[in-house]
Amino acid sequence: MSKKGPEPTKNIKYIQMRLKIINAFFLAALLALAGCFKDSVSLPPQPLENYIKVYMPQAVNNPAVYSYSTSDSSAHTIIYGANYGGAGYPDADIEVQFAVDAAAADSFNTANNTDYALLPEKSYKLSSLTGYIKKGTLSTDPLQLTVTTFGKNAPDDISKTYILPVSIKTATEKINESLRTFFCIIKIEPTFFNRTDWIITGFSSQESVGEGENNGRAIFILDDNKNTYWHSQWKDGQPGPPHYVTIDMGATKQVRGCGFIGRQSSNAGKPQDVQIFMSNDGSNWELAFTQTLQNINDLQRFFFDKAAEGRYVKLQINAAYGATYTHLAEFYLF
């Protein structure tokens, strides 16, 4: 008769017991090793002064984008300043010097693949280049950056998007480099001038009969109704180009662009090649703008290459699409 081997149940219990012994051994070894590391590891010193820095709080949400209108007659205000970061409060006054950093604008454009132009000096003013974080306080008094988008101090080219980096130049405390510069992005939205008081002072011709009572005359390019229009004369005479209308705006204005709405039809005669002249006296004219328009009914808006100043404006149409006569629904300036 063969000899019986160990019972399966006893074998399993034996293996489980051995595993418990092995696990206990490794756990004890790990605890002993951890104890050794606890005794031997030392952290580097952490001086409190390493965490005390001044910064521009406005830079936390860089860049800040501002949209302004050409019709805003007063300057726009943006707040800037510096804060104290770290434990507690400063035990002495901290002097902070601010400056516009043109090099930072270049760096921003390179890093973000943008081509923003630096806002011209005439278009902004910093209320102060110096601020103080007083002993026992956490910030400078609020300082004001003013931006002008109206009149002579507005940027000449409002078709561009501008950038203005305001930076902490120096401080009597360490500066947080990542929050040193506040980037302002300035967008200028053109708004057409109010034409209520504009007066037609002259024209090459107008169709005062053939287009009906509420069409044909030059005044209809200023009536805010795209369904009415000026038409050069065609009844009892048809003078060719150039066709023109002269306007008194009632006051001297800085003009940076213009707009046209064509007659709401498919008729030949929409303006093709146009020029705009400006004058201070209505007699001596200077060319401000030259453009080829599209042959469409929709609003077409254009920026001048540079701002032009004057009280009087002359719109001249040198050629029209498919005709020697011309017509126009609305004419704007901004």
Could you tell me if 55 and 185 lie in one domain? Answer: yes
Could you tell me if 240 and 165 lie in one domain? Answer: no
Domain end among 189, 211, 237: 189
Residue 46's pLDDT is 56
- Mean pLDDT of the 2-27 span: 49
Q: What single-letter DSSP state applies at residue 207?
A: -
Residue 284 belongs to some domain of the structure: yes
Domain end among 189, 213, 229: 189
Q: Give CA 92 to chain center in angstroms.
A: 39
Q: 106: domain CATH number? A: 2.60.40.1740
Could you tell me if 268 and 307 lie in one domain? Answer: yes
Which residue type sits at 105?
A
Q: Give the separation between CA 190 and CA 171, rounded to whole angstroms.
A: 39
Does the pLDDT of residue 6 top 50, yes or no? no
Condensed to tens digits (0 to 9), the pLDDT of residues 153-166 reads 999 889 999 999 99
Residue 203 belongs to some domain of the structure: yes
Could you tell me if 258 and 218 lie in one domain? Answer: yes
Domain end among 157, 189, 221: 189
Q: Which of 144, 151, 154 is nearest to 121 (CA)?
A: 154
Which residues 6+ apart lie within 8 Å of 62 measured at CB?
Answer: 181, 182, 183
Strand partners, 245: 203, 315
Give the Cβ contact number of residue 29 at 10 Å. Answer: 10
CB 25 within 8 A of CB 137: no
Tokens at 35, concatenated: 């104890």
Could you tell me if 170 and 206 lie in one domain? Answer: no
Residue 125 belongs to some domain of the structure: yes
Condensed to tens digits (0 to 9), the pLDDT of residues 166-223 reads 999 999 999 999 999 999 999 999 999 999 999 999 999 999 999 998 899 999 999 9
Dihedral angle at the C-alpha atoms of 70, 74, 76, 82, nearest 10 degrees? 150
Residue 38 belongs to some domain of the structure: no
Q: What single-letter DSSP state applies at residue 125?
A: E
Q: Give the separation between CA 74 and CA 56, rounded to whole angstroms.
A: 26
Number of compact structural domains in the chain: 2
CA angle 319, 214, 282 (to 5 degrees): 55
Tokens at 117, concatenated: 């132009």
Residue 142 belongs to some domain of the structure: yes
Residue 232 belongs to some domain of the structure: yes
Could you tell me if 151 and 203 lie in one domain? Answer: no
Which residues 6+ apart lie within 8 Å of 193 measured at CB?
Answer: 71, 249, 253, 332, 333, 334
Length of the chain equals: 334
Percent of the chain clearing pLDDT 90 (strictly above): 77
Could you tell me if 54 and 181 lie in one domain? Answer: yes
Q: 231: domain CATH number? A: 2.60.120.260
Q: Which helix (H) or strand (E) holds 33?
A: helix 8-40
Could you tell me if 147 and 264 lie in one domain? Answer: no
Does the pLDDT of residue 5 top 50, yes or no? no
CB 317 within 8 A of CB 271: yes
- Mean pLDDT of the 240-254 span: 97
Q: Give the separation between CA 283 and CA 254, rounded to whole angstroms.
A: 18
Could you tell me if 170 and 91 lie in one domain? Answer: yes
Residue 52's pLDDT is 87
Q: Which domain holds residue 106?
A: 49-189
Condensed to tens digits (0 to 9), the pLDDT of residues 51-88 reads 789 999 999 999 999 999 988 878 999 999 999 998 89
Does the pLDDT of residue 18 top 60, yes or no? no
Residue 1 belongs to some domain of the structure: no
Could you tell me if 68 and 156 lie in one domain? Answer: yes
Does the pLDDT of residue 284 top 60, yes or no? yes
Would you say the C-alpha torsion 26, 31, 34, 40 has a positive or negative sign? negative
Could you tell me if 111 and 156 lie in one domain? Answer: yes
Q: Give Cα separations from 26 to 17, 22, 31, 116 (angstroms).
A: 15, 6, 9, 65
Average model confidence (pLDDT) across the chain: 89
Could you tell me if 161 and 203 lie in one domain? Answer: no
Residue 299 belongs to some domain of the structure: yes
